[in-house]
Amino acid sequence: MEKIISLAKQRGFIFPGSEIYGGLQNAWDFGPLGTELKNNIKAAWWKRFVSRRGDMVGLEAALLMNTKVWEASGHVSNFSDPLVECEKCHHRFRADHIVEKYLKDNPDTIHEAVSADLVKLSRDIESFHINCSDCGGKLMSPQQFNLMLKTSLGATADKTSDVYFRPETAQGMFVNFKNIIDSTRKKLPFGIAQIGKAFRNEITPGNYIFRTREFEQMEIEYFISLPKKDADWERVFEEWRKEMHEWMSYLGIKPDEVHELDVPKEDLAHYSKKTIDFEYDFPFGRKELYGLAYRTDFDLRNHGEKSGANLKYKDNETGEEYYPHVIEPTFGVERSVLAAMCSAYTEETVGNSDEEESETRIVMKFPSWLAPVKVAVLPLSKKDELSSVARKLADDLRTEFTTDYDETQSIGKRYRRQDEIGTPYCVTVDFDSLNDNAVTVRDRDTMKQERIAISDLKKYLSEKLAE
């Protein structure tokens, strides 16, 4: 993990937030390449799940919503994690996480699955003699800690001005359900999709960009007819389960690194009847990457009853009115970036000949569509006769591909830099190019080189990048 973090900063993927002032706990800024990577993921996700489907529409809801939204959704009373505090240093930890860590460090311990139940967690902490990891002090009894991030709206800061930054994008889609039905005339089944920021006051953020207090979600609320039997919603649930596996494969994640966890009933979110966590083998352990939940009619029913608005769907053919049920696929943007980087990171031993010492080549083997830079143009030297041709070629390629231009240091070192950021193809302009109007194209993964006429270069790269 340390190697990926170092590479990410050195090459401009991810920087520590507010670094010149000492940073802010687990806040991160996405650099030039990280921004391209995120945008590529979001654009591909939107195209795949929204633009290319006739049963999907998009939405961009506000970050701040009326507090009554969160009361109706159950977040004010139920959106919490088990917190435990040290009596001595007063540092706080996720109670379930410290029990999980103890069991991981002591694999011979016989124990049932860790749950969020406060009584069980308190018993485990006491029976295992778990103390504060920072000072060794005794831990207090676990309590529930609400994760919503509060702020004040307006000039007067009092209870009436309290609002919350949204902890999920979902509620904006639920409260706009009637607006979307009225304006688009969509019929069931159909989905609403949204990409946007969410905020959670996590007790112990960490593991790089895996768990942060500010993050971005790609989320879908897929509305279905009132199920007559479990098989009705289970069929749609299964369709989305397959869709999510296909997306992970498209992202470059190896199937054997993904595992499904059927969340136990006692650990389900307050709105869920069934949830699958798609877990990924991160370098720091197997953790949740995405989630798929069956939210029943919990949200629309609660918002309808609490607001007084009619959020029922009317079937014009049968005249039946009801609250649609919902299947919710959720994808985290930052976790997508992290999983994609972990899957792509590769170390290879290479050598140019038997006489030369071998070296380790670091290469980010992103799928071509995901790579932040698609093509790099590298003149063999800085001489004007080459750089003028190379710069003109780079400008021309930028009209179709994200293109980098690099003329600093030896060609070998420049190849290595492009390998480290995952550039699929490097185009070298050499002195022969001045006579034959051709360039050398190097493949990132195979390192094989091919001579291509400049007039054919765009077509060649388009075909290669589409493979």
Taking the C-alpha atoms of residue 359 and residue 168, their distance in angstroms, rounded to an integer, is 46
| pLDDT score recorded for residue 149 | 87
Q: How many CB atoms lie within 10 A of CB 154?
A: 9
Cβ neighbours of residue 56 closer than 8 Å, sequence gap 6 or more: 49, 50, 190, 191, 192, 193, 220
Contact 14, 29 (CB under 8 A): yes
| Cα R_g (the chain), whole angstroms | 26
Q: Is the model's pLDDT at 231 over the cut of 90?
A: yes
Between 267 and 287, whose confidence is greater? 287
Q: How many CB atoms lie within 10 A of CB 43?
A: 13
pLDDT tens digits, 32-70? 999 999 999 999 999 999 999 999 999 999 999 999 999
Taking the C-alpha atoms of residue 428 and residue 441, their distance in angstroms, rounded to an integer, is 6
Taking the C-alpha atoms of residue 46 and residue 194, their distance in angstroms, rounded to an integer, is 9
pLDDT tens digits, 71-108? 888 888 777 788 898 999 988 898 988 998 899 898 88
Q: How many CB atoms lie within 10 A of CB 101?
A: 15
Q: pTM for the complete prediction?
A: 0.88
| pLDDT score recorded for residue 266 | 85
Q: Is the model's pLDDT at 355 over the cut of 60?
A: no
Interior CA angle at 216 toward 152 and 364, to 5°?
145
pLDDT tens digits, 143-172? 888 788 888 888 776 677 789 999 999 999
pLDDT tens digits, 274-326? 999 999 999 999 999 999 999 999 999 999 999 999 999 999 889 999 999 99
Interior CA angle at 269 toward 260 and 321, to 5°?
105
Q: Which domains does the chain possess? A: 2-61+170-341 (3.30.930.10), 373-465 (3.40.50.800)
| pLDDT score recorded for residue 353 | 52
Which stretch of 151-160, 198-207, 218-227, 254-263 has the lowest confidence by average pLDDT?
A: 151-160
Q: Are strands 403-405 and 375-379 parallel, antiparallel or unpaired?
A: parallel
Work out the pLDDT band at 354, boundaries 50, 70, 90. low
Half-sphere exposure of 169 (CA within 13 A, CB side): 25
